[in-house]
Amino acid sequence: GQSLEQPSEVTAVEGAIVQINCTYQTSGFYGLSWYQQHDGGAPTFLSYNALDGLEETGRFSSFLSRSDSYGYLLLQELQMKDSASYFCAVRPTGGFKTIFGAGTRLFVKA
């Protein structure tokens, strides 16, 4: 089977850097995705790592290490608007069934 583990909550200060980790157990997958969801809103795509290494998109970066079954989302120069839930997700090989982690709720304090 497949499962993804994320911390349930993270708190950080405005302007700081925060890392949200995701560990997974899956027999094979195409890549690791990250989504952001504000309260009452829809999940929105942030990033995708098909290969090991770091992908950077503005203030957000995402990392994948298949050998360690581990990935993370790095948010820099935190802003209040970054307060949201963040989900890691994988698509197991052989189909298009994306599996989401339980999500990490990020609280950004002034």
Stretch that binds another protein, among 20-28, 37-45, 53-61, 68-76 (CB under 8 A): 37-45
For residue 35, give Cα distances in angstroms to 52, 81, 86. 19, 15, 6
Q: Does 50 bind another protein (CB under 8 A)?
A: yes
Q: Does 87 bind another protein (CB under 8 A)?
A: yes
Measured between alpha carbons, how far is 77 from 28 in angstroms, rounded to an integer? Answer: 34
3-state DSSP call for residue 75?
strand
Q: Measured from the CB atom, is 22 or 78 closer to another protein?
A: 22
What DSSP state is assigned to residue 66?
Answer: T
Residues that bind another protein (CB under 8 A): 30-31, 33, 41-45, 48, 50, 87, 91, 95-103
